[in-house]
Amino acid sequence: MRRAVIDVGTNSVKLLVADVQGHSVVPIFEESEQTRLGRGFYETHHLQRDAIAHTASVAAQFAEIARANDAVSLRVIATSAARDARNQQELLDAIKTASGLDVEVISGAQEADLVYRGVRSDPNLASQRLLILDVGGGSSEFMIGESEHPEFTHSFPLGSVRLLEYLRPSDPPAPVELLQCRAHLRAFFAEHVHKILDPALVKERVRVRLIGTGGAATILARMEYALDKYRRDEIEGAVITLASVRNWMQKLWSMPLAERRTITGLPKKRADVILTGMAIYEAVLQECGFTELRASTRGLRFAAVMDPALRRTPA
């Protein structure tokens, strides 16, 4: 069955059209468009009207693409910025008007569960104990488990756009701003993360493998292996060491935005948020005692198209 899902995130809107048979997902078409729905959001918790309009327009375009690719069902899911917005209904109404589709605003726990099940659909990760991390624009989802269902999930209010808007680094960032970013993340982990995550990690930590999914992880893999385009088969399973992440941090945090936009593997529109997305991954690697990160191209959208409930939503 050919199904489609539109993922409305804090930083971008993403489309996946795939042929689905049980737990087998074969992508047919994928697209991503940065709409910055979360731009300026964290000061007022109101979505800006131009960002809402842009997001609704892209969602409508993606719905047409899904139908043109013969998707028999279509699902629209919204995550962090949408669920936290005081004017959430404005976004839902705009997308409904533009595309004719209803939007599911999912909780952080639901998001984490979908991400976990999507990553777990990779047969190469079967029976391994994993810490799966999805760094989004507004939040980061942590999931731990070694079977079909996670034994631990938690969503933290720590995302690349949220952190970028909090820090507002100069162009180019000053050396002290990198120090401030790292200090802020250490403090965030000390106050919010360790007390929740550490007890779940303590169980046989040596057997836990860190898996990164989402834009920041796949961009790190693309930069590491100089992939000028998004090639799922080359990104899936790519390994990035902590030493390499540190090197990229030093390099990118010393460059002006215009120069970062010339780096192979780094999409031009993501050249600002990669600073903070990468910093979050560095913090997780250091704070949780990992030496490497394995990239996964699977996640929320894979699980969303596998969901049998999707059959009830005709395209």
The DSSP annotation for 8-72 comes to E-SSEEEEEEEEEETTEEEEEEEEEEE--TTTTHHHHS---HHHHHHHHHHHHHHHHHHHHTT-S
Q: Which domains are seen in the chain, by residue range? A: 2-107 (3.30.420.40), 122-297 (3.30.420.150)
Q: Does residue 313 surpass a pLDDT of 70?
A: no
- The residues pairing with 155 across neighbouring beta strands, listed in sequence order, are 141
What's the angle, vertex CA 97, arms to CA 96 and CA 102, rounded to 5?
10
Say which residues have a Cβ less than 8 Å from residue 10's Cβ, sequence separation at least 6: 37, 38, 41, 79, 80, 81, 136, 137, 138, 139, 159, 161, 162
- The residues pairing with 240 across neighbouring beta strands, listed in sequence order, are 293
pLDDT confidence of 311, banded at 50, 70, 90?
very low
**Over the stretch 84-141, which tens digit does the pLDDT of each residue have?**
999 999 999 999 999 999 999 999 889 999 999 999 999 898 889 999 999 999 999 9
Prediction pTM value:
0.92
Judge residue 158's burial from the number of C-beta atoms within 10 Å of its C-beta, 0-12 exposed, 13-18 middle, 19 or more buried. buried
